[in-house]
Structure 1
Amino acid sequence: MVKNKPVIIKCEATPAILITFECAGQKVPAKLQENLVLSDPVTDIKTLQSSIKVFREEVEEYYGNDGYGCVCYAWNTVPGESDPQSRESNRGLVEIAYLKKRFQRVPMSQTVELQSTISLQCLPPEGKPLPEVFWLKDGKMIEVWKEINFIISSEGNLIINQARLEDTGNYTCGAQNPASRRFSESAVLTVFVNGAWSTWSEWTDCSAKCGKGTQRRTRTCTNPAPLNGGKSCTGEAVNRIACTSLCSVDGLWSPWSSWSTCSPDCIHHRRRSCENPAPANGGEYCLGNDLASANCTGGMCRASRVEDGENIPMYIGLCVAVAVFITVIVLIVIFMRRRKARSQGVFSRECLSTGELTSLILFQVTIFLVFLSELMSMQPDLTVVTVQHALPVDSPNNNHMMDKQPLYDVPDINAHHRLSGTLPKNSKMMLVEPTINHNLSSSLEHLSVCDNKNSLLLPSTVDADGVTWSTFDSCGGRLVLPESGVSLLIPEGAIKEGHVEEIYLAICRDDKDRPRLNDNQTILSPLLLIGPPSVVLMKPVILSFQHCASMRQGGWILSLYNSDSPIDEPPYWKKMVTLGHETINTPVYTQLDPNQCHIMGEYLQRYAIIGESVPGARAIKILRLAAFAPAAPPAMDYSIRVYVVEDTHDGLEGVIQMEKKLGGRLLDKPKQIPFQDCGNNLCLSIEELSPGWRSKLAANYQEIPFRHIWSGNQNNLHCSFSVESIDRIQSNVSCKIQVYQKAVPNNRQVIRISSNIKEVSETLFFFRNHAPSSLSFPQKYTLIILPPHIRHQLCLLLDPPNARGNDWRMLAQALTVDRYIIFFATKPSPTENILDLWEARHREETAVTDLMNILRVMGRMDAASVLEKDMGSWL
């Protein structure tokens, strides 16, 4: 009922000849009724319709406890006659409609960044019936069914999915019901744009044409330009570097040489060269000829003489050669004939006949002339220049470092001797990129789990030491890889009631699984795989793992990457979301704690955290250093391997599994070292080597390039130091390896090594008693902190929004999971999802007590009492 307007109550009956009303226990006089007979044109059935008016004063004057109600009666005979028949309607309650003026929560003015998500809060005044909320922008109603960028939530808040410049304006919250319409105070929404640099221009030419100068490049803060109070770009708009332009030198002739002796053709020559100075750096070559010829007899030489004179030496030489050859042949023949005669015992003075001797001589002369003609035809080609490279007399000393040659490597399992055995004396270590083949007795490609007649085919790209699985039903549970610090929480209700699913959790350590990054990006977490992708989830699961980004210094742009490629194919990585830029359509919630990351979503696939520095900043990631040596080294040499990996449990676990195959042992406790995005290499030097030992490298210093650590695509990078014994009596080897980043003096770490090589072989390798891998014993944790009935009561209490705001939204804020609160707002029960994430983040003994105290600070004693009431029975 609205003020000054009566309520019209209508009653229809078929068949009926009379309708009467009774309101608040009193019969309504017939004169106050309005009757109307309606006839159906098709069936000709008549319907009696009667109505009365109820005024506000009548309702206000009624003091009954059951409210002012009206009932109508339909009669088929006149009341008072014999055997009257009537039917009674349902009781209708008449209430006074109202809408108070004061809004319980009004929208506040905001200044937000472009493309961000905004929530303008509004809680309408109390009213009966419940008022409907609508919004106005600059006095014009927002039609949310047309504007997909606007959403009005169930509690009345206006959610703007992605703020645009045109969304700047005045926003007013309105509420209406049949009693009235109310408007809140307007809130001003300002969408600002932070300035961003354009790309650098090309470098200008060197300012100096000759000698030292400068080059410059520029950029402008126009990509985009700051707007509506947005921040201007930080950094320099002009960048200058020193340059040197080489001065060009024009060539000049050297003095002429003296004239050569006069040649048979009566010509002599002289030369000069263009080297006084020689042309350089684009300078011009000397003009003119470098050879001059002139007649040396005044033109008195004759051409025929010259031609005859050229052949005379050749003719003389041929004649002499023929004569000598014939003489030698004759003497040899005579000698052979005499020797033959002696061997027969007959001495004969008979000489060779003239014909025989002549034939022999002619035959020999013919052979000689043929040979001589062939020899004369092989004239040297004077136009060919032959360059001979002198070979070094001494063999090169391979103990010296070559320029720009890295001395670190990636362990090659297929060449075990390269790391743990003795290196050849003249060998060099260099960067290698092997394909690591984990030779398992049973390949993962064909490995399956059988449980309750179900089988699960595991991917072939994962290491046997980095996978676990189990079977789950609607009760949920937890998968854990404790050595890698990775877990997967499957909340209650994530698996459909009555279904059973086999789920696996794996670490991808193969180099081929790593995403290809640009020079600015770096991997900050393990590469994780959960599956199989065919599993349909009813609510989000939570994947928890470590990251190595230093959040204290800040300066990070962090993104979640995923890959939905088939498990038997190389992954194709793509950016899923940049943290802080989520929209209402973002399908996952990413909670980033100082050392942990929690991904909440409904998709089973590959995940990784990738980061890059904020423009103008230098982000820092934490690395872990671990030094290893062979468990049983040779008597003369000792090889030390220093690994550089991301500071996560899985980064160290990957090295442990690698060294387990190589037969190595840990030399010192793993150390942390910050690594800054400044482009400087990581340096390692071996110092204070104990007496009786010396380094096999000429320089005790090595470097790992910055880009190999920051954006490289290799796992388990390390440097190797080889030392050799020069005193066999000394069995103790000790040293320290200092690790630091160039130009960053504070980022420094020292690894101290002390070992006795004679005792090492008797020492058990520290991995021998390592716990059984999760491949052999899958771990399933079903311990849930909050029982279902407790969770159900908390959801009933905290899900409904209230005027004080101490509902699920304040709980999310108190638990520091309110960065992307719209994710929870879109769920059927926001409180239930917040508690799921709380269970994944908090496994300490005091977790429930801390939650109880948070609820008390929020002023929700009713929710705190739910926990406190049953604490003795389940805590």
Structure 2
Amino acid sequence: MSSHENSFQPAQFLLLVGVPVASALLLVQCLRWHCPRWLRAGRKPDRQEEPVPDPTPLPEDESPHQYPPAVLSEMAAFYQELHTPTQGQTVTRQLMHKLLVFSAREVDHRGGCLILRDMGISLLIPPGAVAVGRQERVSLILVWDLLDGPSLSQTQALVSPVVACGPHGASFLKPCTLTFKHCAQMPSHARTYSSNTNLLDTKDWKALGKSGVHTSLDECRIQLSHFSLYTCVLEAPSGQEACKWLQLAMFCSPLAPGQTHLQLRVYFLNNTPCALQWALTNEQPHGGRLRGPCQLFDFTGARGDQCLKLKYISEGWENVDDSSCQVVPHLHIWHGKCPFRSFCFRRKAANENEDCSALTNEIIVTMHTFQDGLETKYMEILRFQASEEESWAAPPPVSQPPPCNRLPPELFEQLKMLLEPNSITGNDWRRLASHLGLCGMKIRFLSCQRSPAAAILELFEEQNGSLQELHYLMTLMERLDCASAIQNYLGSPAQVRVGTWENQDLELELDV
């Protein structure tokens, strides 16, 4: 071999060996760079539940996201934020990959009460529970993370939220009282569980004894000797059917001029206030709004999956999805995973030359929902309707305050008590329902609700009704007791707008 050929051997060796080694090093660096993102991304939810933002619960067949273990400084900051006084406010925040709703305050010998607003959860520290001269920081936490709940069998159902009282392990001179809602049909079938662990630790759920636990029709009260995690599980005795109450909530964004598609999302939720608030929070990124009062129905552990079947779409619209029937797995509902199913509708033109965006400014949809095998025992989702509303499409003028569509809580309760009892003449909540344009079928459905008067007052709120308009309706109905109660909140002679409400002359069907 010549000297000229020998001079090229090192260069050839570098090309043959160095390039593969460099490529391997570059590949390793890329994997190190992208793997954390892959770990955080997890698996994508199934197509039926898109788009789903965090904290949408994972389907039954999916594994949870993998997060790196928390370091001590992160854990210290987590607990410090949870126990920092919130000045009476209820805070919703995602901390350490958990969506939490919490409130915290300092309590002395006079005691105090923590309430999670709109969640049906409270913690009472009685007078004398804290020694004179001392102050204790306490917190009440709703955990919107199903991974923190107990592992359930197919016969067990989650019927309440997971609630934590902090700081973990704290004890007092007198027992404190934790109260939260449950949705078991038979209170005797609801069993309270506790996990004597920190919120970030691996949970160890065990059933509590009956001592210090009282379960009423829809509420669980626990006398606490020390603070920990608590929840309620439905466990029916052998040979008895387990049932729980569900609420069905429908959401969609308002129609806008020229909008060609509309997605309707139907949630199957435990009949507890915090489950509905979870759905409201989940809908915020999409601008979804609750359409009408939630509908109540029973759900059993011995039956099949839940079906949602489209029965009617108003003229000018069509279903985009391949199927008119969707199914929710039984355990998704039974284990309280707050599942939902969505339908997408689009406008259709009468002929090829017609602009489909100008055809109709409302959509009316009817659906049936039932457990598999019991199609004849369905519940009808009554005439869902969405229309173009100017108050949704554009903000109110700056010179005018935005409309308030919520009645004062005290007035709401007072009107509910006055309108709830059925009168022989029908001049009760049913008359108000008639004035609001509800047909006899809807009125019959409302009569099956736990509080028909509350449902119709909520519907009035959804229609952005004012106190003046409600005062006018009560006067028109000759319900002067209700009109007087409203007048006390108006503070001056009511200025009503005659002719605001349509269907005022509808005849009331009394065969409810």
TM-score by length of 1: 0.35
**Aligned residues of 1:488 and 1:543 also touching (Cα < 8 A):** yes
Counterparts of 1:750 and 1:621 in 2: how far apart (Å)?
19
State the partner residue of 1:521.
Answer: 156
Q: CA deviation at 1:612?
A: 2.1
1:565 aligns with 2:197: yes
Counterparts of 1:651 and 1:415 in 2: how far apart (Å)?
13
Residue 753 (structure 1) aligned to one of 384, 397, 402: 384
**Aligned residues of 2:82 and 2:104 also touching (Cα < 8 A):** no
**Aligned residues of 2:306 and 2:328 also touching (Cα < 8 A):** yes
Residue correspondence of structure 1 range 339-738 to structure 2 within 5 A: 408-409=48-49, 412-413=52-53, 447=81, 460=96, 463=99, 466-551=101-186, 557-577=189-209, 582=210, 588-631=211-254, 635-711=259-335, 714=337, 716-727=338-349, 728=356, 729-738=359-368
- TM-aligned CA distance change 1:461 to 1:482, over 3 Å: same
Counterparts of 1:636 and 1:533 in 2: how far apart (Å)?
52
- TM-aligned CA distance change 1:592 to 1:435, over 3 Å: same
Counterparts of 2:225 and 2:325 in 1: how far apart (Å)?
49
State the partner residue of 1:829.
Answer: none
User: Secondary structure of 2:274's partner?
Assistant: helix
- TM-aligned CA distance change 1:536 to 1:612, over 3 Å: closer
Q: CA deviation at 1:742?
A: 2.9
> Residue type matched to 2:308 in 1?
L
User: Secondary structure of 2:103's partner?
Assistant: strand
Counterparts of 2:105 and 2:363 in 1: how far apart (Å)?
47
User: Secondary structure of 1:520's partner?
Assistant: coil
Deviations 1:661-683 (A, max 9, x none): 33211122111110012231111
**Aligned residues of 2:254 and 2:386 also touching (Cα < 8 A):** no
User: Secondary structure of 1:709's partner?
Assistant: helix
Counterparts of 1:652 and 1:488 in 2: how far apart (Å)?
21
Counterparts of 2:278 and 2:55 in 1: how far apart (Å)?
18
- TM-aligned CA distance change 1:671 to 1:531, over 3 Å: same
Q: Which has the larger radius of gyration?
A: 1
- TM-aligned CA distance change 1:761 to 1:436, over 3 Å: farther
User: Secondary structure of 1:413's partner?
Assistant: coil
Counterparts of 1:696 and 1:685 in 2: how far apart (Å)?
14
User: Secondary structure of 2:363's partner?
Assistant: strand
Counterparts of 1:524 and 1:614 in 2: how far apart (Å)?
16
> Residue type matched to 2:52 in 1?
D
- TM-aligned CA distance change 1:415 to 1:656, over 3 Å: closer
> Residue type matched to 2:229 in 1?
R
Counterparts of 1:659 and 1:434 in 2: how far apart (Å)?
22
- TM-aligned CA distance change 1:467 to 1:461, over 3 Å: farther
Residue correspondence of structure 1 range 65-144 to structure 2 within 5 A: none
**Aligned residues of 1:672 and 1:749 also touching (Cα < 8 A):** no
**Aligned residues of 2:105 and 2:138 also touching (Cα < 8 A):** yes
**Aligned residues of 1:668 and 1:752 also touching (Cα < 8 A):** no
- TM-aligned CA distance change 1:747 to 1:615, over 3 Å: farther
Identity %: 23
> Residue type matched to 1:558 in 2?
A
- Which 5+ residue runs of structure 1 have no aligned equivalent? 1-404, 417-428, 438-442, 453-457, 583-587, 772-875
Q: CA deviation at 1:568?
A: 2.4
The runs of at least 4 consecutive aligned structure 1 residues that moved more than 6 Å come to 429-434, 767-771
Q: CA deviation at 1:755?
A: 1.2
Counterparts of 1:448 and 1:430 in 2: how far apart (Å)?
30
> Residue type matched to 1:513 in 2?
D
- TM-aligned CA distance change 1:564 to 1:460, over 3 Å: farther
- TM-aligned CA distance change 1:430 to 1:575, over 3 Å: closer
- TM-aligned CA distance change 1:484 to 1:494, over 3 Å: same
**Aligned residues of 1:479 and 1:487 also touching (Cα < 8 A):** yes
- TM-aligned CA distance change 1:609 to 1:732, over 3 Å: same
Counterparts of 2:207 and 2:158 in 1: how far apart (Å)?
13
Counterparts of 1:480 and 1:750 in 2: how far apart (Å)?
33
**Aligned residues of 2:107 and 2:137 also touching (Cα < 8 A):** yes
Q: CA deviation at 1:410?
A: 7.1
Counterparts of 1:636 and 1:569 in 2: how far apart (Å)?
49
State the partner residue of 2:28.
Answer: none
Deviations 1:779-806 (A, max 9, x none): xxxxxxxxxxxxxxxxxxxxxxxxxxxx
Counterparts of 2:340 and 2:148 in 1: how far apart (Å)?
20
Q: CA deviation at 1:754?
A: 1.0
Counterparts of 1:591 and 1:684 in 2: how far apart (Å)?
36
Q: How many residues align?
A: 329
Greater relative contact order structure (CA < 8 Å, 6+ sep): 2
Counterparts of 1:722 and 1:432 in 2: how far apart (Å)?
25
Deviations 1:668-708 (A, max 9, x none): 21111100122311111122201111111232111112122
> Residue type matched to 2:135 in 1?
V
Counterparts of 2:141 and 2:167 in 1: how far apart (Å)?
11
**Aligned residues of 2:84 and 2:105 also touching (Cα < 8 A):** no
- Which 5+ residue runs of structure 2 have no aligned equivalent? 1-44, 68-76, 87-93, 350-355, 397-401, 407-512
Higher helix share: 2
TM-score by length of 2: 0.57
- TM-aligned CA distance change 1:485 to 1:711, over 3 Å: closer
Counterparts of 2:163 and 2:255 in 1: how far apart (Å)?
35
- TM-aligned CA distance change 1:684 to 1:564, over 3 Å: same
Counterparts of 1:448 and 1:567 in 2: how far apart (Å)?
11
Counterparts of 1:639 and 1:520 in 2: how far apart (Å)?
34
- TM-aligned CA distance change 1:407 to 1:460, over 3 Å: closer
- TM-aligned CA distance change 1:461 to 1:682, over 3 Å: same
State the partner residue of 2:433.
Answer: none
**Aligned residues of 2:245 and 2:270 also touching (Cα < 8 A):** yes
Counterparts of 2:184 and 2:230 in 1: how far apart (Å)?
16
Counterparts of 1:638 and 1:444 in 2: how far apart (Å)?
40
